[in-house]
Amino acid sequence: MTININTDTKTPQQNKKKENHGRLLVKCPDQPGIVAVLSKFLFDHESNIVESSQYSSDPEGGTFFIRLEFHCENLSEKRAQMEADFQEIAAHHSMEYRFAYGSERKRTAIFVSKEPYCLMELLWEWQNGDLETDIVVVISNHEDSRDMVEALGIPFYYIPANKDIRKQVEEEQIRLMEEYDVDLLILARYMQILTPEFVERFPNQIINIHHSFLPAFIGARPYERAFARGVKLIGATSHYVTNDLDEGPIIEQDIERVDHRDDVVELKKIGRQIERRVLAKAVKWHLEDRILVENNKTIVFH
**Binding residues for a second copy restricted to 209-238, rule: CB under 8 A:** 213-217, 229-233, 235
* Catalytic residue of the set 164, 244, 246, 259: 246
Residues 265-294 that bind a second copy (CB under 8 A): 265, 268-269, 272-273, 277
Residues 70-129 that bind a second copy (CB under 8 A): 71, 114-117, 120, 124, 128
Closer to a second copy by Cβ: residue 117 or 180: 117
163 lies in the binding site for a second copy (CB under 8 A): no
Taking CB under 8 A as the criterion, the residue among 15, 51, 171, 219 binding a second copy is 51
List phi, psi (to 5°) of 281.
Answer: -65, -45
151 lies in the binding site for a second copy (CB under 8 A): yes
Q: Report the DSSP beta bridge partners of residue 140.
A: 112, 158
Minimal distance in Å, beta carbon 179 to a second copy? 26
Torsion angle of C-alpha atoms 46, 34, 205, 215, degrees rounded to 10? -140
141 lies in the binding site for a second copy (CB under 8 A): no
Of 242, 245, 236, whose CA–CA distance to 281 is shortest? Answer: 236
Q: By CB under 8 A, which span of 3-11, 154-162, 165-173, 195-203 interacts with a second copy?
A: 3-11
Taking CB under 8 A as the criterion, the residue among 147, 197, 200, 224 binding a second copy is 147
The amino acid present at 234, given as its one-letter code, is I
Distance CA 45, CA 32 (A): 22
184-187 vs 206-210, strand pairing mode: parallel
Q: Please, what is the angle between helix 222-229 and helix 264-287, to 10°?
A: 120
145 lies in the binding site for a second copy (CB under 8 A): yes
Catalytic site residue 262?
no
Closer to a second copy by Cβ: residue 66 or 187: 66
In the chain, DSSP finds a helix count (H) and a strand count (E) of 9, 13
140 lies in the binding site for a second copy (CB under 8 A): no
List phi, psi (to 5°) of 9.
Answer: -95, 0
Check if the beta carbon of residue 186 is closer than 8 Å to that of residue 125. no
Of 25, 21, 18, 20, whose CA–CA distance to 291 is shortest? Answer: 25
Closer to a second copy by Cβ: residue 202 or 217: 217
Closer to a second copy by Cβ: residue 102 or 249: 249
Taking CB under 8 A as the criterion, the residue among 15, 48, 87, 168 binding a second copy is 48
Active-site positions read 246
